Structure 1
Amino acid sequence: MSHFYKRAWCTVSQVYHNKNLLLEILICLDSNLPDKIFKKSEEDLELEVKRRLQNNRYLIVLDDVWDIEAWKGLEATLPDNRNESRVILTSRNRNIAAPLGELDAGPHFIRSLRHDESWDLLVGKLFPGKNSHPPELCGLQGQILEMYQGLPLIIIVLTGILANEDKCGWKQIVESLSSNVLFCTEQCIATLDLSYKNLPDHINPCFLYFGAFPEDYEHNPKRLTWLWVADGLVQKAESNSSEDVANGYMMDLISRSLVMVSKQSSTGGIKACRIHDLVHEFCVRKAKEEKFMQLACGYDELYTLNMQHNLRRLCIHSEPEHFCMSRLFVPTIRSLLFFSHGKRYNGPMFNISFIFGIFKLVRVLDLSQVVLDSTFLGEPSLLVLLRYLAVLVDSNSIASSIASFPNLETFIVV
């Protein structure tokens, strides 16, 4: 990696905006960007990226590309310095590779793991640092390898299940999965479903909470556990604080390989975490099935939303103006999370004070991706149950009345 002077990893996903991709690249190139960068136009950001890469040998990874237009939108921004710079695209869609024939190297199709590689992965995850493994596992080797066909994610999820079960029950678990003739994504969903069923009941809702966020979202673990606590998903304990209990839930999910650590702090702690796309798909599906929460993505879903009876949690992924104009009337809502499409870093201010009159029972309100005007914090007395509030406002405009939220536990200003 030291061969490249500049390096950036940019996750594209199915829903993307060129401006956010450019900012993601810039943040990788310089973690201490000045605030004025985030207010620049898309055209200015393109020039900024090109300036920082010009005459430098660089490596850019565009991960999880679903649409060739994502590459076309960035291609002109990446200078051809003729100095062995490289751009790597990853995709689950083989058709993405076809229009890229003009690149130096053709597509590299990732093969499935061989049986010996699959077995080494399974054993290494279950018994790290050990050369031997119990006979209960050896007796299931052929069945496991045949069933999972060298798919790493499924093998890793299986280890998370087996690691938390008694060895005597391993055979029954493997046979319950192999009885279904499923392949690839369906096999993975079946494995995830078993892993979900083996979670302690009190952790299930915290796991489903990951489905509220956009695909490929990188989580701040501390902020996520604050959400769990404010939403009433964390059991109280006499000897530990609610935050400590929530951290225990997070470590349990990581130990079961359902949540991945994506960044570690200098002290060895967890700085950021994420989940695989298929795990995210499972969480969204299961949350809807169990009426745990409802997700509305984009203009059409927002305006044709068929509300569940007694809906408690609503997650919206849309343009801020569409959310503001919708005037959603869901008085039963306890938690409302909003994620912006494309205007996270810059845009006009919005007045969404209508929330005060409609969502009077809300306990969790995350509006950290909508630029709010100063009037938003002017009527706090109507949200007496609010425990968690995250907003994107000018810190100088925060009303003094914020102190009158009687139950507020977490207040985040972005």
Structure 2
Amino acid sequence: MGGLGKTTLAKQVYDRVVTQFDCHAWITVSESYDKKELLRKVMDKFCQTTTMESNIPARNGGVDEEIQIISKVREQLKNKRYVIFFDDVWKIEFWSDIEHALLDNNMGGRIVITTRSLDVANFAKHQLESNPHLSSISRILSLSYDDLPYYIKNCYLYFGMYPEDYSIKCSRLIRQWVSEGFITSKKDKTLEEVAQQYLTELMNRSLVQVSQVNYCGKPKECRIHDLLRDMILRKMEDLRFGSHYFPSNGSSFSEKLDA
């Protein structure tokens, strides 16, 4: 989803960490790109940051040009600790277009992407599960739940009852929280009003995303990020909060939820 501040956050991280690397680059990819021009952009960025601009491959439009660019990038990164941010990646095929240029030199190089595509995010998701250097993310996400007020925790765990990437109507969610007995009455407020306050707090904590707004600009539908959902499912199991079964056809199940 666009407009959530992914690029802004990534740029802040980039500006903070670049001094820890021998060379660095920020590349905006966008939906349509030319593979050769993308590789050349990577090469140009690394040449700038390493002040090595000699022997730049000429633009001849041939296969040799692409090979020369890849070789030049690999030469620049040899024995260097590098970081490169690719902003606004749209296609899974992107990785196969650039992977041969970005060698793994065991120097602690890092590649970061931002994307609005669920396909791209899911393709990269296994890196979070298999990379031991990223295991701390799971602990941080768990802390975001542990830090919640006790009276909101059950409400948040309830999101685990929905399929992955499912957007639920806020009004429906509020009614379900009330019917499950998660909401405690407060003076001068209805149960629905209290539930709305809880949902707003979860949104303000960035634990729940607004996926659709109404004509007044107020949240109409909401969802949770896949990584947060994974954390919720683990918490549900640990706390024996509930269990769920989703058929292989997730879309048809979503249609039943909306019925």
**TM-score between both structures, scaled by the size of structure 1:** 0.32
* Structure number with higher helix proportion: 2
